[in-house]
Amino acid sequence: MSAPTLYIEKCDSYTPDVKESLLHLIRPFGWPEKAAGKRVAIKVNLLHGASPEKAVVTHPVLVKALSELLVEAGAESVVIGDSPGGLYTVSYLNHVYKLSQLLPCESERVHLNQNVETREGHYENAYLLHSFSYTAYLDDADLLIDFCKLKTHGMMGMSAAVKNMFGTIPGTTKPEYHMRFPNKTDFSKMLLDIYRYWHPDLCIVDAIDGMEGNGPSQGLPRHIGCLIAGTNAVEVDLVCAGIINLKPEDVPTLEVAEQLGLIQADTLDTLTTGGADWRDFVVRDYQNVAVKSDIAFAGKGGPIGRAFRSIARIFLKSRPQVRKKQCIGCAKCFQVCPARAITMKDKKPVIDRSQCIKCFCCQEFCPVGAMKVHRTPLAKLLSKNK
């Protein structure tokens, strides 16, 4: 029997016995024994400092359990890290670690990353991202684990294993990449380049409680009840999408991955999986974010057809929109906007639609969820009819 490329473990809560569930999850891939004598980096999801019950970050109980398993298997050292949105400084990292309740993870051989150096990477085989900045602490690791949180995402539909690797880009430079690649297709290629450059040795998804709605930071926790692991982040994401009731074409990274040949139309049906069946965890009414910005209109050719499609795209595009009653006037959206499309007027954000690149950074980093993904009435109607 061939070894699984993906494994799913039923797990209902973040109790101490989750360590046993993690062991069952990673053992089919030769872990934690692979860690013996190695320096292991765990790249978690720390979008910003948030208490675990909000489902924003990789749950600290899981991170601690995984670290203990690696150390018990003989790992020389384990470093836990990420580059949250904002300044990439030691003080800010420690602020995020504290709010995310990761401090108890530290021990003699387990450390929270304190190295804020950055380096320049070069990827000859990239689709688009041939040169980039990255967090230097990863260079000190022999093995890399991508430990993400399953969440909705305003720009990319879903945040899971592939998107999590964007956190290897230093926080303050992330907006530059949104400006370089404002198109969803190009942004997806860039994310796939980052994943392919690092190619983590193992990908793990915290899907005990995911996030639905206004993700990836201000949505609501939604119980799913499983952990997912695999060696291919694109295939892992394919299963994650299925679990939260999304098709590959609903997630730009998966749609582009199929176009590039990284997955096939039937990949989900041909994966060699182990453990539980992913179909048992599908949440049919998961509150997702529609990210499609155009529609094909098959058969509408010629100049009139092209004009019709152009007009239709305008009326179907999602865009960020502030709910002023919820807004606290913190100006975070103004600070993170890579296109400088936001100004503050009477302590409230005003979006210049002619400058907005629809990267949804404002929505992603709004601390109170006042910035929403707005869908046009026509887009809502078409989705409902569909």
Q: Which residue has the tokens 């907006």?
A: 175
Burial track 119-145 (b if 16+ CB lie within 10 A, e otherwise) = eebebeebebbeebbbbebbeebebbb
The structure's pTM equals 0.84
In angstroms, the CA 33 to CA 361 distance is: 39
Which is more confident, 274 or 2? Answer: 274
Segment holding 313, helix H or strand E = helix 302-316
- The angle, 0 to 180 degrees and rounded to 10, between the axes of the packed helices 233-243 and 252-259 is 130
Task: Look up the CATH architecture of domain 302-385.
Answer: 2-Layer Sandwich (3.30)
| Alpha-carbon gap, residue 67 to 255, rounded angstroms | 34
Please answer whether residues 211 and 222 qualify as being in contact, where contact means their C-beta atoms are separated by less than 8 angstroms.
Answer: yes
332-337, long-range: CB < 8 A, 24+ apart: 332/362, 332/365, 332/366, 332/367, 333/361, 333/362, 333/365, 333/366, 333/371, 336/85, 336/175, 336/361, 336/362, 336/364, 336/365, 337/175, 337/361, 337/362
Distance between CA 267 and CA 255 in Å, rounded? Answer: 13
d(CA 180, CA 227): 34
**Residue 180's pLDDT is what?**
87
**Of the candidate ranges 165-174, 278-287, 338-347, 364-373, the one whose mean pLDDT is the lowest:** 364-373
Q: In the structure, what pLDDT confidence band is assigned to residue 88 with cuts at 50, 70 and 90?
A: very high
**pLDDT grade for 375, boundaries at 50, 70 and 90:** low
Q: What are phi and psi of 170, to 5 degrees?
A: -55, 140
Distance CA 41, CA 67 (A): 10
- Do 8 and 275 form a contact (C-beta atoms < 8 A)? yes
DSSP character for 31? T
Domain span(s) for CATH 3.40.50 in the chain: 6-281
302: its two tokens: 């010629």
For β-strands 143-153 and 202-212, DSSP reports them as parallel
Q: Does domain 6-281 have CATH number 3.10.450?
A: no
pLDDT, tens digit (0-9, with 9 covering 90-100), for 221-269:
999 999 999 999 999 999 999 999 999 999 999 999 999 999 999 999 9
Q: Tens digits of per-residue pLDDT, 297-338? A: 344 455 655 554 454 444 446 678 898 889 999 998 998 888
Closest CA to 297 of 289, 288, 306: 306
- Residue-level length of the chain: 386
Start and end residues for every CATH 3.30.70.20 domain found in the chain = 302-385
Average pLDDT over residues 147-159: 95
Which of 2, 45, 9, 1 has its CA nearest to residue 27?
9
The predicted model gives 157-174 an average pLDDT of 94
Helix (H) or strand (E) holding 78: strand 77-81
pLDDT tens column, 97-144: 999 999 999 999 999 999 999 999 999 999 999 999 999 999 999 999
Task: Name the pLDDT band for 73 (thresholds 50, 70, 90).
Answer: very high
Say what the pLDDT of residue 383 is. 45
pLDDT at 382: 42
